[in-house]
Amino acid sequence: MSDPVTVEIPHQLSNDDLRQRIDGGIGKLGAMIPGGEVVEHHWESDRLMTVTMQALGQRVAAKIELLEGRVRAEVDLPPMLALFADKIRAKLVKDGPSLLK
């Protein structure tokens, strides 16, 4: 595995509002990876969601952590998709806030 793609998205929402918005928009996360889709997601705790995606025949694991004033998303890319890491990071920074709307 390569280094994970990590981005932080600022917010001013309560944890309950964050959880609702992330649950409602989680399908958008898969679209941020070429050929990707979310196949499974669940909350590990009040502040941590684990996500499994499928992209170009590869399994992609991600974590979404709710922090004070920001959300941290960490995506572990398999070697084949690591070639797209910079583009995926840029897409998450640009479009990641849409998960919170």
> pLDDT tens digit string along 54-82?
999 999 999 999 999 999 999 999 998 99
Question: Does residue 2 surpass a pLDDT of 80?
Answer: no
99 close to 26: Cβ distance less than 8 angstroms? yes
47's tokens? 């502040």
Q: What is the pTM of this model?
A: 0.91
Examine the pLDDT at 29 and tell me if it is beyond 70. Answer: yes
Q: Residue 9's beta-bridge partner residues?
A: 71
Q: Could you state, in order of their start, the residue ranges of all structural domains in the chain? A: 5-100
Q: Rounded to 5 degrees, what angle do the CA atoms 15, 20, 24 make? A: 145
Pairing mode, if any, of strands 48-55 and 36-43?
A: antiparallel
Q: Say which CATH class 5-100 falls into.
A: alpha beta
Q: What pLDDT does 1 receive?
A: 53
Distance, CA of 79 to CA of 76 (rounded, Å)? 10
- Summarised one tens digit per residue, pLDDT across range 37-57 is 999 999 999 999 999 999 999
pLDDT classification of 3: cutoffs 50, 70, 90:
confident
| Pair 6, 74: CB distance under 8 Å | yes
Say which amino acid occupies 25.
Answer: G
